[in-house]
Structure 1
């Protein structure tokens, strides 16, 4: 049913600056996943190098995201977002220079991606916790819908353009654009005038982290879903981000792979637009049920489906991801106390990321033994099966929205 009471979050100045900063950053970042993947593969010819580069940006998220959540709840999120975005611009710029000058060195790329991941560990909790400070409670779902629309709207053209740019000029130029976008985003975030958070003075970061853990552990529907996604993300990132480009290079090509990723983003965009008006009272239940379809493109990839069928599966997964993503963020922002939100979401991030390096590094040996297509097929089936598990919890099924 349509919402009749929620306002327009864009009428608020702080949210407009935040929205613009995310738009600029995402415009650059939309090309990076494709650009980095094919740039590393072109420079080295080794899927193992790509796995190491991707894992290097994920490991620091695991190591530092809990600290990042506590810092975000203690200090001004606007200042934190400014500094972290500017730092990310420097690190991504350095990666671009390495690739553009033809001085590819796996150790240097890994080190720079590690620094970029460290900055992301502080950026992500602040991004996820800042929204209730920018809009009114009844505007949260619409704000998430707008942000999701931007996040995946720019990815419709981004991966496809990146695929063409990689073929024409190499992946370094797309990464250079991402570096510039981080700098511009940092300038936008500097316009946010947000106070330090209401953490009791005199307490340390370890105490803040412990309080966040207690809140996370006490919220059954949160840790139930996070636990399942820990295993599911290990599968999906390993299959889709590592094996996906590898299989694509020998079958459909880089430009077609970029097109598939863009179609997946289109599915998310369609759902994000719909969720600006649509109100589901059991929003989390609907999102969890929908995300079962997230395994379809991995199954299609494993079966060697032609581009139209692979794109159709990716579109369906995009619709599902769009609904789940908005449901998840909105439910967290509605049901977790604001002064705990960045810390709780940092435990969400930690649980979601902790097993990803296993997938990134382990999927290549598995593919060598069993074949990459078979690993992709089995991975897709396992992903969908895992997504059904949280639906057994009454805390997930009965969570109310609004």
Structure 2
């Protein structure tokens, strides 16, 4: 299969193995956490899990940009391995928790570490796989692994729970994180390229967010992630409500219908690499947003149990159409040395969209009705898709004509198309830092927001 071609790269194989092992361990913990929350507070287990989900999003949104601004100063291999070991220790401590507030504290720390890990891992893949076709296939393979984990982890957990208490699942997750760290040690992880920014703390931390939001195509990506969160939150938050309360069925029917979304996502993951060879990322992702909207609007028909399966399947399929090309769009929208910043910004901002989706789906479904929840989330997905269509230019060229004004400034630099000046001999090897002058010029190259391009050019 074409999607398996990136596995020929030995370094990617170790990275992918690390992802698989950690995903499987995290899936076991997800099951164990629900049972643990019930033991801690049987009357309010749902509220505890909901609060834990909110804590997760807060950790993601606040920590990821800080990591993105400063990870270039740290060795990525040691950083990723250290975070895996730290997560192993924390998750192994979960069985010792006796109070709900202690559970919240451990969950917050776990997700702080995840916010420091995931975007750095994602930004690493383009360095390991510089070929665009292989990178796209790797994105689909990673998505396929995530969906397979979501299908297999509950089944594996159910088998393990027949012979051991659920608390052992936490220890197995700790072991999985250690094995993931060992796999990373076997991969050759390139050192981050030095950034040319010399600004203060706030400028370093906010650079990724500011640059992301100044890039029209990435604003389109963010809007489509809002559409995705509307549909995804409907599945995660309200599937159990629809099946149990609206249809009056048993709890056994809940996971079966949720599997449909996973199947749809897997089907799309297998197709996206070929689709990207024929169509632009913009076209594919907008089709995904439209599919999410249509699926949610069809929920207004209030289908029976069998009718819920195709709706959830379409949502899963459309979700992958939005998610998988995102990494490719990010890769093409930033310089190599700024990837950590952009991927961290995307991680934080898109999880902010999920935070909105969770809150809205839960509140409307609980205080109004499921039909109102379908209507609100469908309208949100439609408006978000229309916004993406508006802000993401149809003729979205990577290379653009633009003009630089004359200026003097000071920052670390190499002698590229923006730095052609003479030296006196004391400046040292590149990248070096000294006051230098930029003459006024107009030229064309792959345009991204960075130290020398603070605003998107008007076409």
Q: Report the TM-score, using the length of structure 1 for normalisation.
A: 0.83
Q: What are the within-5 Å matches in structure 2 for residues 93-104 of structure 1? A: 93-98=92-97, 103=98
Partner of 2:103: 109
Moved more, 333-342 or 68-77: 68-77
* 1:208 maps to 2:204: yes
Q: Relative contact order (alpha carbons < 8 A, sep ≥ 6): 1 or 2 greater? A: 1
Seen in structure 2, the aligned counterparts of structure 1 residues 177 and 285 have a Cα distance that, compared at 3 Å, is: farther
Aligned-residue offset at 1:198: 1.6
1:124 to 81, 95, 118: 118
Bigger-Rg structure (1/2): 2
Superposed counterparts of 1:202-351, under 5 Å:
205-227=201-223, 229-230=225-226, 233=229, 235-236=230-231, 239-248=234-243, 251-278=248-275, 279-294=277-292, 305-351=303-349
Aligned to 1:133: 127
**Alpha-carbon distance in 1 for matches of 2:376, 2:164:** 33
Quick check: which one's helix share is greater?
1
State how 1:52-201 maps to structure 2 within 5 Å.
52-98=51-97, 103=98, 105-138=99-132, 139-162=134-157, 172-192=167-187, 193-200=189-196
Asked whether the equivalents of residues 35 and 166 of structure 1 are also in contact (C-alpha less than 8 Å), the reply is no
Q: Which has the higher strand share?
A: 2
Task: Name 2:27's counterpart in structure 1.
Answer: 30
Deviation sequence 1:206-251 (CA, Å, 0-9, x none): 3322433442233111024325635863x45654334444555554
Q: Distance in 2 between matches of 1:166 and 1:304?
A: 35
| Structure 1 alignment gaps of length 5 or more | none
Pick which of 114-123 and 48-57 moved more. 48-57
Matched, 1:385 2:382: yes
SS in 1 for 2:116: helix
Deviation of the 1:381 alpha carbon: 1.5
User: Over the residues paired in the alignment, what is the CA RMSD in angstroms?
Assistant: 3.5
Change (3 A) 1:177 1:120: same
* C-alpha separation in 2, matches of 1:71 and 1:364: 36
Which TM-score applies when normalising by structure 2? 0.74
Shift of 1:314: 1.7
Which segment is superposed worse, 191-200 or 139-148?
191-200
Count of aligned residue pairs for this structure pair: 392
Shift in Å, 1:122: 0.5
Q: CA deviation at 1:194?
A: 2.5
